[in-house]
Amino acid sequence: MTTTYRLLAGMLAGGLLIAGCSGDGGDETASTKPAAASTTLVSCGREIDLASVDSVYLLFHTPIELALTLGADKERLVGAAYLDNALPDDLPNIADIVPYVDGYPSKEQVLEADPDLIYASFASAYKDEKLGSREALADLGIQTYQSPQYCDEVEEFTMETLYNEVRNAGLLLDRTDAAEEFIDKSKATIDEVTKAVADVEPKTVLALELYESKLSGRGGSGMLNHLIELAGGKNVFADVDDDYFSTNREEVIAKDPDVLVVYTCCGSDLTDEDAKAALEELKTDPALAAMRAIKENQVFFVVFSETNISPRNPDTVRRLAESLHPEAFKG
């Protein structure tokens, strides 16, 4: 996956910064640009003292890719774990920078890294059987961050959800200028795309995860639904409240979408080529192979992380819009 809006970062400070691009982020309590003098950040009800954060452990795909995208200082990162798929080619390999665990790290592995802060996307990280509660980690002197969109406080995912997350990442990683630069470029990309598709007839889209011969759809409550709408599409499962849900061949065939968005999950080496291979397996079913979108080769491939909060979201919207409505981008 290439990202047209990536910036060159990390060429300063004698090579201490990781090459990447700037990105946007934010906190669930802040939807506007935070003041430069901010010294605290509230994460799902817990206050983080930014002044005391010198070392960060990254858990889950979004924190890892955001850190690399924003050009985080290598000396600030002490460990990372759990990529959903391969990183973009223009980012460094996280395993070359810090100790990396391909999957959930044990509590012992995280404690050995001795972080001041754990930057994790999901609340599952802080279950007793995983790393322990946020309260218990605080007793050990470790501050914790949980992405606001998973605090049960965000009812609708939009680009502002991404921008808030990236602003937060900028604060946690001391890359606030890079975060704001990324946001500005992302907004320009989204503005350009939405203007191009403003007058088009929306194409119907069905997003499908293919994993171990099981089919999962994507409903109307997640980020992917918003990306589809921005690109000039209409999610055929938008009326489903859940972001992820199990579906079956009969439902998929009955929806008969104009376009399929296909991905597979999960593993640090997975690319959209794996989704293409999964689709070929799916096409061995004659009824599925006869679907209009498949017969007409109207299939758009992504990686799993692109379907959630990701620094790739703006570029994904552009590529999807160009696939759905190529006529809107001619000239």
The whole-angstrom distance between residue 79's C-alpha and the CA centroid of its chain comes to 19
Asked whether residue 242 is domain-assigned, the answer is yes
Q: Do residues 211 and 256 both lie within one domain? A: yes
Q: Do residues 112 and 244 both lie within one domain? A: no
Count of residues in the chain: 331
Beta carbons of 205 and 233 less than 8 angstroms apart: yes
Q: Do residues 166 and 233 both lie within one domain? A: no
The per-residue pLDDT for range 292-305, each reduced to its tens digit, is: 999 999 999 999 99
Determine the Cα–Cα distance for residues 54 and 22; give it in Å rounded to an integer.
20
Dig out the tokens for 55 from the structure. Answer: 């070392």
Give the residues across from 300 on adjacent strands. 261
The per-residue pLDDT for range 79-123, each reduced to its tens digit, is: 999 999 999 999 999 999 999 999 999 999 999 999 999 999 999
Q: Do residues 147 and 225 both lie within one domain? A: no
User: What mean pLDDT is predicted for residues 37-48?
Assistant: 88
The per-residue pLDDT for range 137-193, each reduced to its tens digit, is: 999 999 999 998 888 766 689 999 999 999 999 999 999 999 999 999 999 999 999
Q: Domain range holding 170?
A: 13-184
Of 140, 160, 184, which one is at a domain's C-terminal end? 184
Domain with residue 221: its CATH number is 3.40.50.1980
The per-residue pLDDT for range 262-290, each reduced to its tens digit, is: 998 889 999 999 999 989 988 999 999 99
Determine the Cα–Cα distance for residues 282 and 305; give it in Å rounded to an integer.
22
261: nearest Cα among 270, 269, 252, 251: 252
CA-derived radius of gyration, the chain: 20
User: What mean pLDDT is predicted for residues 16-33?
Assistant: 40
Determine the Cα–Cα distance for residues 127 and 263; give it in Å rounded to an integer.
28
DSSP 27: B
Whole-number Cα distances in Å, 7 to 69, 91, 197, 230, 246: 8, 11, 26, 23, 38
Beta carbons of 222 and 157 less than 8 angstroms apart: yes
